[in-house]
């Protein structure tokens, strides 16, 4: 192991220290602890919000027994040492009752991220958070990739990695497999492309 790789393996802080820091952060700042590093999650723009509401409506119509929780804090990664706030966490109604700010990812059927137009979105949404959700055993990770105009579905988490990846362009009907089991009509997403 080289000196630089050993530094990368060490977290910037303990998860308990992160949680204390996050509790004291202003309401306008969203912090996450991904891959041992403190991350600042960008605030969403209008198109980001519209995409989330589009998805929320489709989930509610097709699976009314589930809820798409926005910005629900999740314990992720191996041994639940990471802390992420996915744009959405699809779980049975009432799943997070009594869990506090950082809920257990077990029982979450799908996490959702809508990419932001910032320099960290590639590393954060397309790699680190994806791997954190897989390590936590979340069955489906849906990435709405605004830069590419794609919905990317990751499934079958094993050994901290999703084994299957499917992508579909905006405009197609996108089937999200079990345990989610919904079909997304994505033509509307073209209205939110810039």
Mean pLDDT of 161-175: 96
CATH architecture of 45-192: Alpha-Beta Complex (3.90)
Residue 172 has pLDDT above 90, yes or no: yes
DSSP string, 67-123: EEEET-EEEESGGG-EEE--SEEEEETTTTTT--SEEESTT--EEEEE--SSTTHHH
Which residues fall within 8 angstroms of residue 112, CB to CB, at 6 or more apart?
A: 52, 55, 68, 86, 87, 88, 89, 90, 141, 142, 143, 144
Percentage of the residues of the chain whose pLDDT score is greater than 70: 83
Residue 42 has pLDDT above 50, yes or no: yes
Reported as a pLDDT band with limits 50, 70 and 90, residue 100 is: confident
pLDDT tens digit string along 101-151? 899 999 999 999 998 776 666 566 677 889 999 999 999 999 999 889 999
pLDDT at 4: 39
Task: Specify whether the CB–CB gap between 124 and 39 falls below 8 A.
Answer: yes
Residue ranges of the domains in the chain? 45-192
pLDDT tens digit string along 103-113? 999 999 999 99
CA distances from 189 to 5, 21, 55, 165, 169 (A): 40, 36, 10, 20, 10
b/e burial code for range 152-182 (CB count within 10 A of at least 16 → b): bbbbebeeeebeeeeebebeeebebeeebeb
Mean of all residue pLDDT scores within the chain: 85
pLDDT at 69: 97
pLDDT at 82: 85
pTM more than 0.95:
no
């Amino acid at each position: 192991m080289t000196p630089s790789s050993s530094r990368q393996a060490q977290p910037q802080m303990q998860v308990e220290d992160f949680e204390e820091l996050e509790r004291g952060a202003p309401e306008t700042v969203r912090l996450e602890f991904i891959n041992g590093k403190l991350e600042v999650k960008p605030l969403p723009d209008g198109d980001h919000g519209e995409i989330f509401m589009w998805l929320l409506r489709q989930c509610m119509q097709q699976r009314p027994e589930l809820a798409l929780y926005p910005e629900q804090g999740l314990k992720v990664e191996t041994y639940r040492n990471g802390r992420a706030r996915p744009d959405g966490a699809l779980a049975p109604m009432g799943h997070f009752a009594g869990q506090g700010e950082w809920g257990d990812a077990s029982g979450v059927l799908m996490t959702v991220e809508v990419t932001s137009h910032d320099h960290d979105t590639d590393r954060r949404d397309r790699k680190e958070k994806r791997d954190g959700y897989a390590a936590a055993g979340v069955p489906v990770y849906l990435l709405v990739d605004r830069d590419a105009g794609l919905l990317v579905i990751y499934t079958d988490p094993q050994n901290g990695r999703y084994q299957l990846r499917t992508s579909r362009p905006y405009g197609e009907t996108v089937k999200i497999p079990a345990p989610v089991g919904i079909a997304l009509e994505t033509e509307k997403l073209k209205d939110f492309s810039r």
